[in-house]
Every structure is written in C-alpha cells, then in structure tokens.
C-alpha cells in the first residue's frame, strides 16, 4: 500500500465524455499501480445543471469501462454543512468577506476596465468593509493576497507560476447561499485526503486560486497533474462535430470496453511504440512521466481498429453474450438455430463492431432467406443442377463438420468439373442472401444440415 489518494470528480451535467473518461482512467490506473486509493466524487452542487440521469449515466459508464472505485461515490451536495462551516471559518479569520456589489455594478466596472485596457477583475470595493450591511444580498469572496506569486510543480506540465495580482477575489458562496466549485473542491479534496489531483488542463487557471484556499484553510496542498485536452482531427477542441463524444454512445455502436480503455489511455500516454495493452499491463506500466504535454488528437479510425482487434481475439462465449442485445435490437432471437458461440467464431475475423457482427449473424437465424434480386439474377439463375448435386452430396454426410462439408464440395467439383469459384458464390447467396459472408464451409457447418438443405431447396424452387 502506498499513501496515494486520487479521485475522479465529475459534474453530473451530462454523459461521461471521452475526455472525462480518460481522466478517470488515468486516476484509476495510477491508484491501482501504486496500490493507493481511487475515490469517486459526484460534484452535484450546481443544482440547476446537475441531474440524476447524468449521475446514473456517469456511474454506468464507469462500470462499463471497469473503473471501480475504492471509496465513494460521494455526493458533494450531501456535504453542504461542512462547506458552510469552512466558509464561516474563513469569515471569522478575515480570510473571506461579504461583497454587496450588484451584478449591474460589477458589469459596469468590468466594461470600464476593458475600455481602459485593464484586465477585468474584482476591484475590491467591499474588501475592507468593517460591518455587514443588513438586509442586503451578498456573495462571499476570498481575500486573495495581492502580492507575490503562487507556484506549483505540475507532475505533467512542469513548474507553473501565477502572479497573485492576476488572481481574483473569487466567490466562495453565491447570493443564494450555495458554495462554488473552486471552494468546495478544495474542502472535499483536503477532507478526503486527496494528495494528487489529476484532472484536465482546462482547470489549470483554477489551481493557483485553489492553492491559496488550501493555505488559508490550513490544509496541506496536494500535488497536481494536468492532463492536456483532446482535440478533433482539425485541431479544434473535441466536440460533437467530430462524432460521438459520449463513452456510452460507443457501447451502443458495438464497441468493447477494453478497446475503449486501450484507446483512451493512448490519447496522451505512451509506452514505446506499443499499441495494444491489457488492463493488467496498463496497471503495471502506467506512469505520469509518460503522459505527453501536448494535446491528444481523437482518431475514430484507430478506435475502430482497436475494436476490430479485440473482437478478433476475444473469447467467443463472452462476445456471444454481448451480441445477444444487438441481435434483439434487430428482432433476432437465437433460441433456435445454430449455437451463437459458433456463429461468433465465424464472424470474429471480419466484424469490427458488435453492430457489424449482429448484421453478419442475422442470416443464421432468419426463418427464410430472400436474396437481393440483383445477386439472385447474377448468381442463382443457372445453378439448379449444381444445387441438386450439392444436396445429394451433403445428404451423404454422416458427421456434419467442416472436413466432411469440404469433402462433399470436392466430390461435387470432381463430378461437375466446376471450380469452387463457380460454385461458392452461388451457394453463399442461396444460404445467406448476400454476397459476402464467412467462408462457405464454415457457414454450412455452423448453419447445420437442416437449414442448409432447406435453403438450397428453396433456392431451387425459386428457380423453377
Ligand atoms: N467537477 C469538476 C469538473 O467536472 C472537477 C474538476 C476537478 O477535477 O477539480 O470539471
């Protein structure tokens, strides 16, 4: 056991997106590698934007990816008393103050500052107020130091320093009494003993403000590691324009969680030129030292390539279990017909997603095959005699397997003088209705004697 304590702290204002999932994964991997603790905290304090559906969706996505936490999920909204007590502590110690400036005042001063070419920030009007103003709405602001600098050594980006005069007196508590993100994140991370904060670099500007708050509250300051963001191929920040950004959308598109994990980890982390990693290997090899400093570029083709790899090498029985859902979505039931695991084995080579696999598996379970008319015209029209002798040879098989099916074809080819290239495509169309499928011997073996013979007979009927 090390004393490492890390956390993932999503705001439940939407689904778990690619960037969030990668942050969660990096935290998870480091915690597992160092035998530390991985905490999950739902930051649901923004009541207007947080929803239960989003919380559920995030938890489901974490589960799907296999990122189990050691502590939590904690809910920030249930920790209000603690947050308020800490704000009161800062007020008592004069490290925070009530600010009565109205939004209109602030906006007017902001515009003045912009006109005068100054950086807009709170001008400190209420900073030195001695007494509270009764019956007036107020926010509570942090009394940030105006001199000096706040620095930290980011575990990914290296040394970073901000001049304190650049930092605002941030709002700790809104007019309606709710505490703000920058404050509660500090209290919660400190109280939960988090000693390394790994998060997206969109938070880098918050970090010096948060460090000042750790110090004001008398908490030890954790280490920080800011992960570079993810861009689309056009180098713009990843958004819906670049395709699905929700992790669970990929589940629905037939991606495997191990492909997603493998893909996410490589978006910003590398280990030599190795591309394929099992979770165990990742836990063994992951380190912040190998997280790059520049943004990762989202590449859907690579994700698809990884998914194809994991389908090809996956356990057929497990894949069959996952495939059922995709087949029922197409109204295909597998209670009757070939064993689904055997069907999967015939499709692993070519299906890149479970959706493609379901498409490819469909013909095995259909009651009847209706070949595409163009394919029928091209491949079936003159094949009646061939099908008849194929039926004859297949009927002689006593042990139905790939070897005996192949030898039935050999006898047919010998007898008819036709090459497999002349027979195979026609048989394929008769049995599957389409012109691409797994190898014809495999198809016949898995489809089974009854279905094969009846489909060939149906094809003959349709020809007369
Ligand atoms: N709830 C914040 C977010 O989702 C957490 C930021 C942090 O990790 O500190 O952006």
Domain holding 254: CATH number? 3.40.50.620
Q: Which residues contact 450 (CB under 8 A, 6 or more apart)?
A: none
Pocket mutation for ligand 1, best pick of 6, 7, 9, 55 (most atoms within 8 Å of C-beta): 9
Q: Which residues contact 218 (CB under 8 A, 6 or more apart)?
A: none
Is 139 part of any domain?
yes
Pocket mutation for ligand 1, best pick of 10, 24, 179, 222 (most atoms within 8 Å of C-beta): 10
- Nearest ligand 1 atom to alpha carbon 23: 8
Å from CA of 362 to ligand 1 middle:
44
**Is residue 220 domain-shared with residue 84, that is, in the same domain?**
yes
CATH number at residue 387: 1.10.10.350
Of 304, 333, 348, at which residue does a domain stop? 304
Q: Which two tokens stand for residue 255?
A: 């991606």
Count of all residues that appear for the chain in the document = 464
Angle ∠(293,39,255) on CA atoms, nearest 5: 65
Tell me the C-alpha distance between 171 and 121, whole Å. 12
Q: How many CB atoms lie within 10 A of CB 190?
A: 20
Does residue 73 have a cis peptide bond before it, meaning omega lies within 30 degrees of 0? yes
Q: Which two tokens stand for residue 383?
A: 């094949």
Å from CA of 84 to ligand 1 middle:
20
> What is the span of the domain harbouring residue 360?
314-365
**Is residue 182 domain-shared with residue 243, that is, in the same domain?**
no
**Is residue 127 domain-shared with residue 199, that is, in the same domain?**
yes
**Is residue 84 domain-shared with residue 195, that is, in the same domain?**
yes
Is 203 part of any domain?
yes
Is 84 part of any domain?
yes
The CA radius of gyration of the chain, in Å to the nearest whole number, is 31
Angle ∠(452,454,456) on CA atoms, nearest 5: 70
Is 433 part of any domain?
yes
Of 183, 203, 227, at which residue does a domain stop? 227
**Is residue 190 domain-shared with residue 278, that is, in the same domain?**
no
> Where does 143-273 show beta strands of DSSP type E?
149-154, 158-163, 171-173, 196-200, 223-227, 230-231
Tell me the C-alpha distance between 401 and 418, whole Å. 23
**Is residue 55 domain-shared with residue 114, that is, in the same domain?**
no
Is 309 part of any domain?
no
Å from CA of 127 to ligand 1 middle:
28
**Is residue 173 domain-shared with residue 85, that is, in the same domain?**
yes
Of 251, 271, 304, at which residue does a domain stop? 304
Task: Report the chain's terminal Cα–Cα distance, integer Å.
Answer: 76
Tell me the C-alpha distance between 280 and 270, whole Å. 16
Q: Which residues contact 192 (CB under 8 A, 6 or more apart)?
A: 5, 7, 39, 41, 71, 74
Determine contact, residues 170/144, Cβ cutoff 8 Å.
yes
SS3 434: coil
- Nearest ligand 1 atom to alpha carbon 10: 4
Å from CA of 262 to ligand 1 middle:
23
Could you read off the pLDDT tens digit of each residue along the chain, which spans 464 residues?
689 999 999 999 999 999 999 999 999 999 999 999 999 999 998 888 999 999 999 999 999 999 999 999 999 999 999 999 999 999 999 999 999 999 999 999 999 999 999 888 899 999 999 899 999 999 999 999 999 999 999 999 999 999 999 999 999 999 999 999 999 999 999 999 999 999 999 999 999 999 999 999 999 999 999 999 999 989 998 988 888 899 999 999 999 999 999 999 999 999 999 999 999 999 999 999 999 999 999 999 999 999 999 999 999 999 999 999 999 999 999 999 999 999 999 999 999 999 999 999 999 999 999 998 999 999 999 999 999 999 999 999 999 999 999 999 999 999 999 999 999 999 999 999 999 999 999 999 999 999 999 999 999 999 87
**Is residue 94 domain-shared with residue 198, that is, in the same domain?**
yes
**Is residue 219 domain-shared with residue 86, that is, in the same domain?**
yes
Determine contact, residues 307/243, Cβ cutoff 8 Å.
no
Pocket of ligand 1 (CB under 6 A): 9-11, 43, 185, 199, 203
From the list 186, 206, 198, 207, the residue with the least C-alpha distance to 227 is: 198
| Atom 5 (ligand 1) nearest CA | 9
Tell me the C-alpha distance between 208 and 269, whole Å. 25
| Atom 6 (ligand 1) nearest CA | 9
Is 112 part of any domain?
yes
Determine contact, residues 186/213, Cβ cutoff 8 Å.
yes
Q: Which two tokens stand for residue 152?
A: 């930290």
Domain count, the chain: 4
**Is residue 380 domain-shared with residue 443, that is, in the same domain?**
yes
Å from CA of 41 to ligand 1 middle:
10
- Nearest ligand 1 atom to alpha carbon 210: 9
- Nearest ligand 1 atom to alpha carbon 206: 9
Number of H helices and E strands in the chain, helices first, is 19, 12
**Is residue 280 domain-shared with residue 297, that is, in the same domain?**
yes
Is 434 part of any domain?
yes
Parallel/antiparallel/unpaired status of strands 71-75 and 171-173: unpaired
From the list 286, 206, 231, the residue with the least C-alpha distance to 38 is: 286
Tell me the C-alpha distance between 57 and 44, whole Å. 14
**Is residue 85 domain-shared with residue 159, that is, in the same domain?**
yes
pLDDT of residue 1: 66
Is 94 part of any domain?
yes
Active site residue ranges = 240
């Amino acid at each position: 056991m090390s004393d490492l304590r890390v956390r993932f702290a999503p705001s439940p204002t939407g689904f778990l997106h690619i960037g969030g999932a990668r942050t969660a994964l990096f935290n998870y991997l480091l915690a597992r590698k160092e035998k530390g603790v991985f905490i999950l905290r739902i930051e649901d304090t923004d009541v207007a934007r947080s929803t239960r559906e989003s919380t559920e969706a995030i938890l489901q996505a974490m589960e799907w990816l296999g990122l189990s936490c050691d502590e939590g999920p904690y809910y920030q909204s249930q920790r209000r008393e603690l947050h308020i007590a800490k704000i009161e502590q800062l007020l008592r110690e004069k490290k925070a103050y009530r600010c009565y400036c109205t939004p209109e005042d602030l906006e007017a001063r902001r515009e003045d500052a912009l006109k005068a070419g100054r950086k807009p920030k709170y001008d400190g009007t209420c900073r030195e107020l001695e007494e509270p103003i009764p019956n007036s709405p107020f926010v509570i602001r942090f009394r940030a130091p105006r001199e000096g600098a706040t620095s930290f050594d980011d575990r990914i980006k290296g040394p970073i320093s901000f001049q304190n005069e650049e930092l605002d007196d941030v709002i700790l508590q809104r007019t309606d009494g709710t505490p703000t993100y920058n404050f509660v994140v500090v209290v919660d991370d400190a109280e939960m003993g988090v000693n390394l904060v790994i998060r997206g670099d969109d938070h880098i500007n918050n970090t010096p403000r948060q460090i000042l708050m750790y110090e004001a509250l008398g908490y030890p300051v954790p280490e920080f590691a800011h992960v570079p963001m993810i861009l689309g191929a056009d180098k713009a920040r990843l958004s819906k324009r670049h395709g699905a950004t929700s992790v669970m959308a990929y589940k629905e598109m037939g991606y495997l969680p191990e492909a997603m994990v493998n893909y996410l980890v490589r978006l910003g982390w590398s280990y030599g030129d190795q591309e394929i990693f099992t979770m165990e290997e990742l836990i063994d090899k992951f380190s912040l030292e190998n997280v790059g400093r520049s943004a990762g570029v989202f590449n859907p083709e690579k994700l698809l390539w990884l998914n194809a790899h994991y389908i090809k090498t996956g356990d057929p029985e497990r894949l069959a279990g996952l495939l059922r859902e995709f087949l029922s979505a197409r109204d295909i039931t597998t209670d009757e017909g070939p064993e689904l695991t055997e069907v999967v084995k015939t499709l692993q080579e070519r299906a890149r997603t479970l959706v493609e696999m379901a498409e490819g598996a469909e013909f095995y379970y259909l009651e009847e095959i209706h070949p595409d008319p163009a394919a029928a015209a091209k491949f079936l029209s003159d094949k009646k005699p061939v099908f008849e002798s194929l039926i004859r040879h297949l009927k002689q098989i006593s042990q139905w397997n790939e070897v005996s099916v192949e030898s039935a074809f050999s006898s047919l080819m010998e007898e008819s003088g036709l090459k497999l290239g002349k027979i195979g495509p026609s048989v394929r169309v008769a049995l599957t209705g389409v012109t691409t499928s797994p190898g014809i011997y495999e198809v016949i073996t898995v489809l089974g004697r009854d279905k094969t013979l009846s489909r060939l007979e149906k094809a003959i009927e349709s020809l007369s």
